[in-house]
A and B are shown apart, each in its own frame.
Chain A
Amino acid sequence: EIVLTQSPGTLSLSPGERATLSCRASQSVSSSYLAWYQQKPGQAPRLLIYGASSRATGIPDRFSGSGSGTDFTLTISRLEPEDFAVYYCQQYGTSPLTFGPGTKVDIK
């Protein structure tokens, strides 16, 4: 099973700042099959990025994904008030499908 580790656990930033979130896999994620989700309290996760760098339909271009192998990054170029949430990565290159523990982005 591929174990995903996300860092930092919590990121405290102000609106307008840049957020950089990390997802590291215990072994290489084949074909960069990595997705990112945003989750707000009481809501289901929302797909942001798939294939490590492809934005899902309707996702603003301030969200971008990069990386390959074992190291992946989600970048939010300029935080908007609605971006404060928990972000999860998920690998789908190998079964079982696994998720990271999440990074909380909160308001500084």
Chain B
Amino acid sequence: QLQLQESGPGLVKPSETLSLTCTVSGGSISSGSYYWGWIRQPPGKGLEWIGSFQYSGNTYYNPSLKSRVTISVDTSKNQFSLRLSSVTAADTAVYYCARPGFCGGTSCYMRSWFDPWGQGTLVTVSS
């Protein structure tokens, strides 16, 4: 059974870089053509897609965050990471990693629903 788990600092100072890691178990990031993604949810608010990537190299970001976001992968640890630079209080949120599930034949698609999700990790931006 595929499981995802987010980890990283719960507190980041304004103007600094937020860094989170998603550890995948029960499946390999580098197998198949699956995408892997990040989504966030400010406290008491709705969900926002941050970006998705495929091991083969395709990476897509939400244009609203694109200038500040980098998603990378460490296949040796079966992990992928999120870096968000120049954070402000508006970046305070629960950050989720999740796997886009839309696949057909041997291909998978970035434009997809998400299933499964990690449990999420709260990151607060404050001095």
Stretch of B21-29, B78-86, B110-118 at the chain-chain interface? B110-118
A72 at the interface (CB under 8 A from B): no
Count of chain B residues near A, Cβ 8 A: 23
Cβ–Cβ < 8 Å partners of B96 in chain A: 44-45
Contact in complex: A90, B113 (CB < 8 Å): yes
Residue of A nearest to B61 (CB): A96
Cβ–Cβ < 8 Å partners of B14 in chain A: none
Residue in B49, B62, B102, B119 whose CB lies within 8 Å of A50: B102
Inter-chain residue pair count (beta carbon < 8 A)? 56
**Known contacts A44-B120, A45-B117; A94 and B49 CB within 8 A of each other:** no
Contact in complex: B119, A98 (CB < 8 Å): no
Contact in complex: B111, A99 (CB < 8 Å): no
Cβ–Cβ < 8 Å partners of A63 in chain B: none
State in angstroms the CA–CA spacing of A19 and B59 once bound together.
Answer: 38
Cβ–Cβ < 8 Å partners of A33 in chain B: 111
CB of A28, distance to nearest CB on chain B (Å): 15
CB of A84, distance to nearest CB on chain B (Å): 17
A35 at the interface (CB under 8 A from B): yes
Residue in B45, B46, B49, B113 whose CB lies within 8 Å of A96: B49
Residue in A43, A44, A47, A97 whose CB lies within 8 Å of B49: A97
> Assuming A45-B117, A93-B111, A95-B110, what are 9 further A-B pairs, CB within 8 angstroms?
A43-B119, A44-B118, A44-B120, A45-B96, A50-B102, A90-B114, A92-B112, A96-B64, A97-B49
